[in-house]
Structure 1
């Protein structure tokens, strides 16, 4: 974007603020506020000019009818007060997913090259309406839209969110509900993590034990990773799976909302659920159970680890490839998109190193390192996928053993793998844990349920998917990942997704030049209100104080800051409860010696808005860098 275009955008935003509250997420490419408003009423008509636009028009009428009660019916035609038009000659600026939205006092016109563009146009249209449009029940109010001209199209073609349904099973209706939320934010890819150590969730008719055994584990409550082993004879009652008809239903639902589903079958590691069903596919051939969340591995802090229980397929056993051929034959038939994600991450190779068959295969292939067997394994898997017309997609570990030029890499261990893959000519989806892992704690770890890392919304919003020195043509886009070890319900999945998912929606859709954190915060807070109406859960951690400590000689120095503008931070260290009459934080302070306790809370406009956070001196000491 050149300077003149950026200046125009700023003027448009300023004008929008002055005339009407236009608070869209993700931010469009161009917004030109106009004079006047359009009022939606029972006489409003919805029409589409080409048959391909009918499905989108029907979705719009459904979105509008439930909260308004108007009973609008979409029809073919060119005179609707809400008119959806597909171009007869493609508009090069809009591409496959862009749209133009023109709202005036007379009506609404949405123009696009493809139905996907119309779909994204109606999502923007809905966001222009009052927040009650998000409700599930009819509301009595005036339904107005500000007059505006919007031109919009995405920065990246891959805008994704991954949901892990292995650690905890989510029903097909819950998955559809989650997809519906993502589609409204203009995400177009749903990465469905269907298999792992803790459950196999997809029916494979030629291998029935995968769901008869692999989809179920013993029930456990408590913190994931610390749970007890299954007892002898204990029934496995917790879990579930999707039938192939379930899969088809969800795929069709997603397609209607312009969301592509990418299935993941995680191999050769993370395969304990498969091995519980077919233990002969492992090196030891020992019986294992679907893991309920026990501490089955040891991590050493430098990225290396050891598995206490075997969870890897045997790369030297031809029966493994026969098994995978059956699995991918059925998976490929269910998902029309070109990709199948094959995992490839965190594959422990200790059992391979001790296996005679693996050692013989290494000798045959003239491999010096057992790690190189994964490259051989992935090469075999890619051939299986290619025979079914599919492309291989995997986590960045697939680079370590060597992969073909046609493989696509998902970079999760920071951005390093994505840079290496792009420089080697691979297509890349950027999903680094440091910016895009939605299972990470999003506020102070003393407030949030514990997990091993933290990620604030401001950090996610600040992400730039194209690293310096990398040709942007290899960066397909980006994705947020929601691993569910600690997420047992859809309600909590929403809490962990938003508002970070809103931030990533803007990172992947909007021009990077117009990103502005204070402006996003303003729009985000209006979406809190809309989410309340929609009964969608979200985190309010952005209102909490950020607490840091450093060493200043022999003193412990305290630093407090707010994640968003406009917060006042008050604190006490005298064992009293803080309020707006306590000490207001203005600059770093050296804490006095002794067994003090910090208590801090945020206010805005004279009212408490954040959580009370309480930290002992020992806890503060542990945070010191």
Structure 2
């Protein structure tokens, strides 16, 4: 009898372990509205047929998209079948005969069972596309790659999923102005966006360092503005190019390039928002057409040398990089630019920038001051507002709506403007309370070009947004009309990003946190569960040859003083379950070195603290060397500098 009880208990334990193992296969980013795990798996076999209704070209694209992914990774015989009846095809895509109001235009239902295979239903092809993205994440890791991998068990866990987005605006900014990314690299960016259900690509097409889009009636914008002297190293510390130095670094997108990108993005349910940043950040345009500025002089495209200085919460420009708001030629110029931009980009919005406009040159200009007096403008903020309102009229004349960074609030918003709030949430809240639509993109949560780990071990930048901070992002502030909050966006500024590999390192995994913050319902978010899903995604990134950061594993240093005013070092980790091992003896520590348990004091004569994190006996973090002198500076302890 005892042996039977023991056998029964053992069987239950094994079944429980199997169920737990099966459940662990459900790892989805962003988290769907509901996920119910079924029993067992559905095995994909050859021949594999994907069926879809025939009357909709967008649905056909989704079916062929899935087919191509499976051909390239699973191999074997995969085909698509377009008919009114789905029959018994292993994978079926269907449009719902009656609209499901709960899931809306972008939602879907996905069911997988051992008996019936895969069924994805939605109101629209967009919903089917997002259902396919979820299906691909349910497949083995090899499905994320680009080549056929032998020996893979091509099975899908039985599951029932209902899903739809929280916000309709789920954006990512790609800065192609500071560093040029090719058309193919932009397509790669779009593919990765779509995987995690982002649907807005904000292309930052102009700045002080380049003008990246062809304007046929203004050819010097790309003949001059798209090229600069090449520099490699630390942004803002480069030498200023001489006037005769070759300007060979750069590139631009032709009209045909843009049309190709717009089509490519639309097929993947991504809309492209073009940004032409004015009146500030316009040095590349001024280098091409110097009569656009209020300050006569010789101009050239910035190569990354310091042209603006930020200090104690304010900033100033070392040269005038603004379009002149009192010059009628500027508005004729912008009319020409926005005419072609409006023709190239079907989206209803054009982003005019409007950020970081240094007004000191305007304030010193006698002609500008006389104009302001004549127009009854009391200060330079109202002059910028005058400019923004005229730009809005130009953009509206092209059948488009104006969007700008939150500085367009200064001096008064144009009546129909939409605000993208980057300086925290405050500007967005103010705009919404004035009745304007808002996209939240706060630098405190959603700037992915910032440090994600300790600066001592990261590529140089200027501020910090850790993964956990990005995961806290909620675009919906309390106390405002929720209908005015379109959604959220993360921004990848490219001043310091020379390559796509560097861009990927900064994006992932923080963009995963933003994805879940703007698609998933707040109640569905869970930090510990998210970290587990991120680690699962790391394997898929490896299969896809996508770079990413593992900085979430690295220790966090806190430098302070003990009761004797000596340096005291506290270490912590961003995620749970990690052990920190350390050394002061200049050897790289491992699990046989001391494990951190209490705040550290520095042994006499020690110059560096070295640390590494382990989990379950294996290293997971970087080997980090932290100079003691750096920790003393952080603690406010005076140090004697080495001559």
Same fold by TM-score, threshold 0.5 exceeded? Answer: yes
Partner of 1:423: 433
Per-residue deviation, 1:616: 2.3
SS at match of 1:505: helix
Partner of 2:374: 364
Aligned to 2:8: none
SS in structure 2 of the partner of residue 314 of structure 1: coil
State which of 467, 482, 499 in structure 1 corresponds to 2:492: 482
Deviates more, 1:586-595 or 1:89-98: 586-595
Q: Which residue of 2 aligns with 1:242?
A: 253
Q: CA deviation at 1:611?
A: 1.1
Q: Counterpart of 1:42 in 2: which secondary structure?
A: coil
CA distance in 2, matches of 1:595, 1:142: 53
What is the CA distance between 1:545 and its match in structure 2? 0.7
Asked if the contact 1:15/1:33 (under 8 Å) is kept, the reply is: no
Correspondence for 2:68: 62
Distance 2:604 2:442 in 1: 40
Asked if structure 2 preserves the Cα contact closer than 8 Å seen for 1:101 and 1:151, the reply is yes
Rounded Cα–Cα distance in structure 1 between residues aligned with 2:385 and 2:460: 35
Relative distance call for 1:17 and 1:406 in structure 2 (3 A) is farther
Where does residue 296 of structure 1 map in the other structure?
Answer: 307
**In 2, distance between residues paired with 1:332 and 1:272?**
22
User: For structure 1, which segment, 470-479 or 275-284, has the greater mean C-alpha deviation from structure 2 after superposition?
Assistant: 470-479
Alpha-carbon distance in structure 1 between the residues aligned to 2:41 and 2:233: 53
Partner of 1:21: 25
How big is each residue's C-alpha offset from its partner over 1:320-375, in whole Å with a ceiling of 9 and x where there is no partner? 00000000000001111111110000001111112233222211221111221110
Q: Distance in 2 between matches of 1:592 and 1:475?
A: 54
Identify which of 589, 600, 607 aligns with 2:611: 600
How far apart in 2 are the matches of 1:17 and 1:335?
A: 47
CA contact (8 A) 2:404 2:418 kept: yes
For the residues of structure 1 that align with 2:192 and 2:239, how far apart are their CA atoms?
A: 35
Are the aligned partners of 1:56 and 1:115 in contact in 2 as well (CA < 8 Å)?
yes
Within the alignment, does 1:49 sit opposite 2:56 as a pair?
no
Structure 1 Cα separation of the partners of residues 429 and 324 of structure 2: 30
Shift of 1:161: 0.5
Which residue matches 1:3? none
Aligned residues: 611
Whether 1:137 and 2:147 are equivalent positions in the alignment is yes
Gaps of 5+ in 2: 1-17, 637-643
Distance 2:626 2:134 in 1: 43
Quick check: 1:83 aligned with 2:87? no
Judged with a 3 Å threshold, the aligned counterparts in structure 2 of structure 1 residues 20 and 581 are, in CA distance, closer, same or farther, namely closer
User: Which residue of the partner structure matches residue 110 of structure 2?
Assistant: 101
Cα deviations by residue, 1:487-506 (Å, 9 ceiling, x for unpaired): 01112111110000111111
Matches within 5 A, 1:102-181: 102-105=111-114, 106-140=116-150, 141-181=152-192
Instruction: Tell me the residue number matched to 1:11.
Output: none
- Structure 1 CA distance for aligned equivalents of residues 568 and 377 of structure 2: 54
Larger radius of gyration: 2
In structure 1, the residue matched to 2:5 is: none
Where does the alignment leave 5 or more consecutive residues of structure 1 unmatched? 1-13
RMSD: 1.6
TM-score by length of 2: 0.93
SS at match of 1:121: helix
Question: Does the aligned pair in 1 maintain the 2:243–2:300 contact within 8 Å?
Answer: no
What is residue 6 of structure 1 aligned with on the other side? Answer: none
CA distance in structure 2 between the partners assigned to 1:137 and 1:533 by the alignment: 9
2-side partners of 1:393 and 1:484: how far apart?
Answer: 21
